[in-house]
Amino acid sequence: MKKVITIEPAKQVTHKVDLPSFTKRRVAGYARVSTDHEDQTTSYEAQMTYYTDYINSRSDWEFVKMYSDEGISGTNTKKRLGFQEMVEDALDGKIDLILTKSVSRFARNTVDSLSTVRKLKESGVEIYFEKENIWTFDSKGELLITIMSSLAQEESRSISENVTWGRRRQLAEGQVTFSYSQVLGFKKSDTGGFEIDQEEAKIVRYIFHQVLLGDNPNKIARKLTAQGIPTPQGKRRWSYGTVKRMLRNEKYKGDALLQKSFTTDFLTKSTKPNEGELPQYYVENNHEAIIKREVFDLVQVELDKLEKKRQTSNIFTGRLFCGDCGSAFGSKVWHSTSKYKRTIY
């Protein structure tokens, strides 16, 4: 007669913190807020304090660390350094359990949330989402996380669409904002607006003046690099593109073209140049100019001449195409500053 013998498991998996454990579980907390506004800062500090005190109050737990990301969106985990460090430590065997306020605090991206949960679960690391009372080792855990992550992602999409709508309305009304770190010559004023940075403005005027003296953007870039002048982004080396963008920037004559680019994906925050997909708004005489309007316009004429010359300087431009994909071949100059100069495709 067939006989079934039950072999009891040597190890027991703990699914809830209230179950007794013979060894202390190494527990970490994770806190995140998406902005640095005062109310969000208060929430962030409250999360940090609450989980630190709560974990330390448990005699069956060993406090590992509080991981956090402040002022960072939850739609993408790539820029969340605290989150990445936590996952790395967990996979390295330093953590058994992670406590966090809610699914939306953990991640608003369904794919990121599920992939991280599964990866940690396979490594024996459990996550507890307090607000939803979800334990990832529970049989229903993944299903509930899928549902809650999807809801969090849709909420994030709705918030993003509302913010975008409000921003586009501001643009239509001619409200101008721009990043000072990307535009050399301007700085934030004491009143919250922007004003001319006189020292940086000297560099801007020098660049425009050099064009009128016959220099092209490449030559100007080499001169600026040789003089040790940092780029608008603080880099040491200037490029043709950096100089050209400055020379084409209408902000230097006191105007502003709005909605030059737009966000294509609220999850990845990826953007693309606006090539007619959305309306643009041109604001004249918005602020004090660094370059006189007539000088700016003269420089544009010179740039147009230079670009036309670049386009027609090679007889093969627009005439060589790839036999496989049909794309046009581009030219590249090797050894441009030596006697071995040659053009390749």
| Structural domain includes residue 4 | no
Please report the pLDDT score of residue 318 as a whole number.
59
Q: pLDDT tens across 187-218, in order? A: 888 877 778 999 999 999 999 999 999 999 99
| Structural domain includes residue 166 | no
| Structural domain includes residue 152 | yes
Residues 340 and 226 in one domain: no
Q: Is 109 exposed, middle or buried (0-12, 13-18, 19+ CB in 10 A)?
A: buried
**Helices (H), ranges, 213-345:** 217-226, 240-248, 293-312
Residues 267 and 282 in one domain: yes
Residues 234 and 302 in one domain: yes
Domain boundary among 156, 175, 195: 156
Please state, rounded to an integer, the average pLDDT across all residues of the chain.
80
Residues 191 and 302 in one domain: yes
Residues 265 and 326 in one domain: no
Quick check: helix, strand or coil at residue 194?
Answer: strand
Q: pLDDT tens across 113-156, in order? A: 788 888 999 999 999 999 889 899 987 877 887 777 777 667 66
Residue type, 345: Y
Question: How much is the CA Rg of the chain, to the nearest whole Å?
Answer: 29
| Structural domain includes residue 169 | no
Residues 297 and 326 in one domain: no
Domain count for the chain, please give it: 3
Q: pLDDT tens across 163-184, in order? A: 667 777 776 776 777 776 678 9
How far is the C-alpha of 260 from the C-alpha of 272, rounded, in Å? 9
| Structural domain includes residue 14 | no
Residues 319 and 270 in one domain: no
Q: pLDDT tens across 83-101, in order? A: 999 999 999 999 999 999 8
Residues 44 and 146 in one domain: yes
Residues 324 and 344 in one domain: yes
Residues 144 and 201 in one domain: no
CATH of the domain at 270: 3.90.1750.20
| Structural domain includes residue 37 | yes
Instruction: Name the pTM for this structure.
Output: 0.50
CATH of the domain at 61: 3.40.50.1390
Which pLDDT band, with edges at 50, 70 and 90, does 22 fall under? low
How far is the C-alpha of 138 from the C-alpha of 227, rounded, in Å? 64
Please report the pLDDT score of residue 338 as a whole number.
66
Please report the pLDDT score of residue 17 as a whole number.
47
Domain boundary among 156, 177, 201: 156
Please report the pLDDT score of residue 74 as a whole number.
43
Torsions phi, psi of 96, nearest 5? -105, -30
| Structural domain includes residue 53 | yes
How far is the C-alpha of 40 from the C-alpha of 32, rounded, in Å? 9
How far is the C-alpha of 87 from the C-alpha of 45, rounded, in Å? 21
Residue 32, token pair as written in the block: 């995140």
Residues 33 and 142 in one domain: yes
| Structural domain includes residue 175 | no
Residues 283 and 327 in one domain: no
Which pLDDT band, with edges at 50, 70 and 90, does 250 fall under? very high
Please report the pLDDT score of residue 283 as a whole number.
85
Range of the domain at 324: 314-345
